[in-house]
Amino acid sequence: MTTGLIPGEQPPDPRPTGALPHQRHEPVGQAALHVDNRSRSSVITARAAASFEPLGRSVASARSFVRDTLQGWGFADIIDDAVVLTSELVTNAVVHAGTAADVLCLRSEEGVRIEVADRYPEREIPLQGSPVNMGSPDREGGRGLQLCAALAGRWGVEYTPTQKQVWFQLALPGRPVGARAAGPMLPADLLPLADGRVRVAVVQIDRIGAITAWNEDAEELFGYAAEQVTGKPLTDLAAWPHTPGTGTGIADALRLSRWEGSYGIRGANGRVSSVYASHLRVRDTTGEPSTVCLLVRDHERAVLQSPMRIPVTDTGTAEGQNADPFEVFIGSPAPDDLDGLLQRTVERARDMLDGDSAFLLLATDDETELEVRASTGLPSARQRFARVPVEGGPGRYGSARMPAVHEDLSAVPGAVPLLSGTGMRSVVTVPLKVEGRLTGSLGVAAEGPGRYSNEEALRLQFAADRIALAVESARLGELERLRRGSLSFLVEASDLLAGTLDRDQTLALMAQMTVPTLATWCAVYTIADQASEPYLSYVLHEDEELIDGIKSLLSKVPPPDPVPTPGARVWRAPGEAAHRAALRSSMRSLGLSGGPTHQFSSNIGPTLATASAVGGETVVLPLVARNRVIGMLTLGKPTDEHFRQEILELAEDLSRRAALALDNARLYSERTAISQALQRSLLPPELPEIEGVEVEVIYRAAGEGNEVGGDFYDLFPIRDGAYGFAIGDVCGTGPNAAAVTGLARHALRLLAREGLSGPAVLERLNSAILDEGARSRFLTLLYGELWPQADGSALLKVVCAGHPLPLRLRQDGTVEPAAEPQPLLGVMEDLELYEQTVTLDPGDVLLCVTDGVTERREGTRMLGDDGLSDVLTTCTGLTAGAVAARIMRAVERFASDAPSDDMAILAMRVPGLHKD
């Protein structure tokens, strides 16, 4: 692009100090009248900048950037001029100059200034006074400065050694008071419908999404007092149309400079009200941002809805082509998510045919059903994701494959199931097809009869043909994202379910993984065996305050039948029971059921909230494991909501994994209970009380879930005044060692009570162990007999067969072994054992331990006999219980790791005679 220059003129430098030197020159001729020869001196109140690559599509991106920026600033009057100028200047940069383009938007009190810079600083310098040829208006390029001269209030060109910058400034047009926008006068019967008093809820949201202001109309519309909602996130009340993995959430919408559209607000009665909202992002004098939300009932959207801007065909594109018919219908920029695209489609279709409502259905993967994905002017919460068959039904909805016009639906009830009970009388529907396949259906309906003819059907079909491919592409993209999200969800769910064998925790995980990802509430029924009835085991709702109400409601409803057929089936009983309960509560509150009403008024709120929570679609999925139904997974939606097929398929996959995890937890619990019962049978009963002797035992079995291992102990009466005691260690741990433990303990009791001496008892036990053959294990055993004496002492006869020696603690703190080592059991057939006699004086302690205590290790260190003796020397004067506890604490603190061997500690102390 070239421009004439006036040599010798040097205007003031508008850039900050330190920038590269440059000159700015004025074009000559008529255009010079529009050139600003002053620097940028007004106060800048807002700025937005973006850079665009040297690609053809960057022109459209730059137009969108400028349009969105000015729309956010509230300068809709000058958007069209700014977009046209930006399009020309960016085209010059990225197409003709072939460089990147930098676009800067500046807002000031005087208007808006937009600067477009490229990396092409060369220019032509004509002779002074020679006329400047700006080029033909019909040629493809070089029209940017002509348009600036024609449309902008001020404009200019600035050069530096590295770039050229063209800028223009648009002033806000002066307009009379009240002349923001106007429409023609209309007859009363064509005016939008509204209630007698239109209420506009004004809600202000702070930076983190919490409600800070809530006006009286908001209280009337939704039933919450201001103090009930202030400080709570708006997301707690908003029923945002959301598909997992796609779409814009309400948190994103609240951060946009402007947003307008429909969603739902869950009122104090639990019902979701469709509202039309207009959001504006503002900031206070301290710079703190917040969002002001204006909300009206959806059928009163005309109060807030902005007039539809007719898309302007850009004549300044580099390709010189007309605007895309798709953008003409949808508008630019087109939504980049499926939900947004579908919602804008139905709104534009409704406006195009001047209808009262519109809807769009998409075909399922097998193309046998159509699923409602977007609607306007209809109870969208109830219709969303509802399904109708493509073929069959009283109205043969197969007409979805061809355009159809129904002049009066009251004459053919059920012709369009979606519109039943909505008050719509006339409707036109057209198919969405891609390469001959039916991918969806678009319809527009009106409350009056005879509103549509074949002409409207053709217009709507033309629009449907323009958007069908874009919708199908967005649908496939959403489906791919959903499938990836589903795989990630199932992988995470499998990991969580595989990480526990606890039944209750498995039930909790099942519910927590479905709420709120798949459903609003969930109930899990379990079946103990084939003869048992389903039992309600777990209930979860995304609102914890409603869980008890749902439990109470479900407990009064017969459980679903345990049908093993895979797939989800609809269960209507909860919704019907909720409706009846809500009706009874309402009648009681009004005094229609007789008797006083005050006792019911406090319960009507929870009852209505519960009814609303379970009043939507409820489905049941069987939990089948090992060819047996072990329970049912019940998923529910609030009033008037339905499940998507993709969600049901994902829930079915989850139910299969959850069923196997639940059955594994059941089997593990049963086997653990059996194992623990058998193990407890190997432990001795309660220790007898021995007059004149304190006894304390501490026993720890190694391994999770083990109560008995290879170590064992026993203390039992033999005859009057005589007691037997034993502590032993079978080679190994676990069930095999526990089996020898049981043999040894029971054999000791039996042989001792036969009157045999200690060596004879151990010799016969040795023979019994050897008779076990391959199942035999060698055994170390300390066995002794105890006789309390009248003088306060105790007499002991001890045999130590390969076991750690018992230690005797005297009152003076000395520690010494109380026996000598002898051969262990279960190795040799012929043993020559003998017993040793020990007398415990008053205050003495006899400590007996297994090798799990002495062999406690920390790296290369081991506690050992010496370490145990050192700890025991500190126990002088302690009771038997205190001695055993101090020994166990010392063992546990010796190493940081958990003990890997069984441990048993038996402490006996002779306190002596008590004198009065």
| pLDDT single digits (tens) 274-330 | 899 998 888 888 888 899 999 999 888 888 887 654 444 443 444 444 445 555 566
Q: How confident is the model at residue 327, as a pLDDT?
A: 57
Q: Residues 856-881: pLDDT tens digits?
A: 888 888 988 899 999 999 999 899 99
State how far the alpha carbon of 654 is from the alpha carbons of 175, 365, 383, 534, 658, in Å. 62, 21, 26, 20, 6
Mean pLDDT, the chain cut into blocks of 10 residues (916 residues total): 32 36 36 42 79 81 84 79 86 81 88 88 45 45 67 84 86 62 70 84 93 94 93 87 51 80 87 88 85 91 71 40 54 69 86 86 76 78 61 45 83 79 86 84 89 85 86 81 76 80 85 85 87 87 85 86 84 80 68 46 54 79 87 84 80 87 84 72 80 90 64 88 91 71 85 90 89 79 93 92 93 92 89 91 93 88 90 92 93 85 90 61
231: helix, strand or coil = coil
The CA-based angle 511-514-519, given to 5 degrees, is 115
In this predicted structure, what is the pLDDT of residue 48?
A: 86
CA distance 201 to 179: 25
Q: So what's the pLDDT on residue 161?
A: 77
pLDDT given for residue 332 in this prediction: 56
Distances in whole angstroms, Cα of residue 487 to Cα of each of 339, 646, 654: 22, 12, 11
Burial class from Cβ neighbours inside 10 Å (0-12, 13-18, 19+) for residue 422 reads: buried
Note the pTM of the prediction, 2 decimals: 0.45
Task: Report pLDDT for 453.
Answer: 85
Output the pLDDT for position 773: 75
360/824 Cα distance (integer angstroms): 86
CB 522 within 8 A of CB 514: yes
| Helix (H), strand (E) at residue 281 | strand 272-283
Closest by Cα among 377, 392, 537 to 445 = 377
**β pairing state of 258-266 and 694-700:** unpaired
In eight-state DSSP terms, residue 92 is: I
User: CB–CB of 101/116 below 8 Å?
Assistant: yes
Give the pLDDT score at 593.
52
Q: Are 453 and 424 in contact (CB under 8 A)?
A: no
Dist CA 708 CA 198 (whole Å):
76
Name the strand (E) or helix (H) holding 294: strand 289-297
Which residue, among 139, 82, 125, has the nearest Cα to 105 in the 3D structure?
Answer: 82
* pLDDT confidence of residue 330: 63
70 by Cβ neighbours in 10 Å (0-12 / 13-18 / 19+) ranks as buried
The model's pLDDT over 117-144, given as tens digits with 9 standing for 90+, comes to 987 765 543 333 444 444 444 444 455 6
**How far from each other are the two terminal CA atoms of the chain, in whole angstroms?**
120
> Tokens standing for 59?
């022109």
User: What are φ and ψ of residue 305, in 5° steps?
Assistant: -65, 130
pLDDT of amino acid 608 = 66
Helix, strand, coil % (nearest 5) of the chain?
35, 25, 40
Q: Is the peptide bond before 121 cis (omega within 30 degrees of 0)?
A: no
Angle subtended at Cα 575 by Cα 571 and Cα 578, rounded to the nearest 5 degrees? 145
